[in-house]
Amino acid sequence: MQNSGLENTRAVLRHIVATLAYRASKVLRDVPPSFAQFSSGPGTRRPVQILEHLGDLMAWGLHMAEGEYLWRAEGSGDWNTELRRFFDGLAALDRFLASDAPLGHPAEMLIQGPLADALTHVGQLAMLRGAAGIPVRPESYARAQIVAGRVGLDQPPPAREFDGDASARN
């Protein structure tokens, strides 16, 4: 039996959420405490501020899924608190998407708004890690063990990490 369009949509949304969790966990694990306050220059966000924003995005995404369009900028300034808030937000959004509750806004809005924005900010954090001298080791994310519902900081080990730059030409 094939899934209905709504079930397929929710499956894709849940996979995006799980992908975000996998990629974020790789970037957010094993960083020294000093990374939270790393500055790459005047007028740029520090990693802890980006992490706060990621938590805000997940709260916004859940509100949108529930039918509200409510944005609230929050944050404590504490790395560990914000790390928990972000992953708790991912889990809450995933639970909603796994439920039978109707989506309050179209899936496209969730993708183009909070989910795409969060993926962008995870990339920024990866770049900041490199600038701070603690680069993230590249991997073939297409081969990663990403499954719907696995949205915590603890993720399976990378399946295909490699050295160097996949875009480099010899």
Q: Is residue 22 part of a domain?
A: yes
Q: Is residue 38 part of a domain?
A: no
Q: Is residue 37 part of a domain?
A: no
Count up the domains in the chain and report the number.
1
Do the Cβ atoms of 25 and 91 come closer than 8 Å? no
Q: Is residue 151 part of a domain?
A: no
In whole angstroms, give the CA distance from residue 44 to residue 28. Answer: 18
Q: pLDDT by residue (tens digit) across 35-44? A: 999 999 999 9
Closest CA to 122 of 44, 31, 50, 39: 50
Q: Is residue 159 part of a domain?
A: no
pLDDT confidence band for 163 (50 / 70 / 90) = confident
Do the Cβ atoms of 156 and 145 come closer than 8 Å? yes
Q: Is residue 11 part of a domain?
A: yes
Q: pLDDT by residue (tens digit) across 60-119? A: 999 999 999 999 999 999 999 999 999 999 999 999 999 999 999 999 999 999 999 999
Please state whether the predicted TM-score (pTM) of the whole model is above 0.85. Answer: yes
Domain that holds residue 19: 5-31+44-143
